Structure 1
């Protein structure tokens, strides 16, 4: 009879997993509400990612109660590994929408962003999807392998190599993107005056309106840019940890101690969720499935102006 062993080299904490599950669940509910409130339909990707984290740590809670159960271990491992990849993908989208809103059409150049602006989001999202696929395959192989399997070493090495390829690709692509986003944080100051000319105060109100828009907003889009840049740092910390974790293997230091995944994976992702919940992108920029088209300057009809929503409190003008 086959010997069934624990999938963990330590006794996992149910309490820790349950607390993290609860925190991500709260983030999921808030993000779902904000998606509906701001009609930020593409933000569903982030809602899905947070939901994966919540279910992943819920499964980890169950797995901690039965450390020999293979299926629930695979579920928690794969969901926790893959959710941050989706978060990285939606960060690409948010940054692209900020650029579209803030930078005038004539100033959106390859020199400004180092990549053709119209291909900024598609290129990075494409890398993200491929990285997601590689990490999924690698995670399934690694998590489903037991030390008692006859070809355990071979399977673990194969899964590790595939997963590492996915994480490495993500680090390279997201690292380059993070440099672009950080650089834009400073270069975007040149467009502040232009944005001030395009907005107008709403009489008797603390809000402002954008030229040709039927909505009111607070002109503080740089807060969202700060949130994006800090989120980039958090994702890179988590990705670097996962790279080292896969490289070290089952006997590595990062897999022998439970605090590593909580401090270097769960915590950075919670920071991302908190930042993008407090500064929810749907309140600053258009987060519909399609990127809005450029609006002619001095258009006062307001028919398409709703696409240019930004601010921390967006509400329809009456």
Structure 2
């Protein structure tokens, strides 16, 4: 499959680029970025070509992998889908419902495959755990907590600490999608957007409570601004099967996980079977997060 990589930031350099360049089933056609000099530097590192025109790269590939801020990603994905290109996108799909819906509608109209990189669904241990819990009945409650210190006032060595869109949108939009991607498959969709309650905590911390179609309830808390020593990631499900906990993923293996996402897109394109983490699922995640954000704004 011929891929074009769009984006030149840390995620493209550290994860998507190496995964695409090292995948035996991928021909990495080229790289496009908003800064041509950065595209040339990354293309050289990945032994491919830098493109100055995004549409020229779209024309030369079968699929696009996008490592750009969500509200830059969405319109680019629409253009790629309209050209008949399969979509390997990052979360969140967009930070507004209309933009996310436009991507989903463009993919459906063109009949292209899509995969959105919700990391835990492509990391072997957590992916197996999620499938097992989704196939198990009787859950009555879930809890997900994602705490990161990349915005800690003492400074952070994270390559994502200076990300403008993360600074603007906070943990709700950056790690909220991960938390929802763990809770929704085993517990089911929310019963409606009125089944969401959101409240602020310190810094960018957000608490959410959800009611699910299965009858279960869940809570999640996310933040990018806790002290680094308080950083953690956890998820717990409770019900008739007992209490189960999301396995510790250990050292992050993002390149390996993104390779699994490439495999998933190829499989979806070849078989025509939608992947569970496609743009429609990502649209629903955006709808839930946008509802929470609206409540937080209304509350001041």
Q: Which bin holds the TM-score, normalised by the shorter protein?
A: under 0.3
Q: Which of 1 and 2 has greater Rg?
A: 1
TM-score by length of 1: 0.24
Bigger proportion of residues as strand: 2
TM-score by length of 2: 0.25
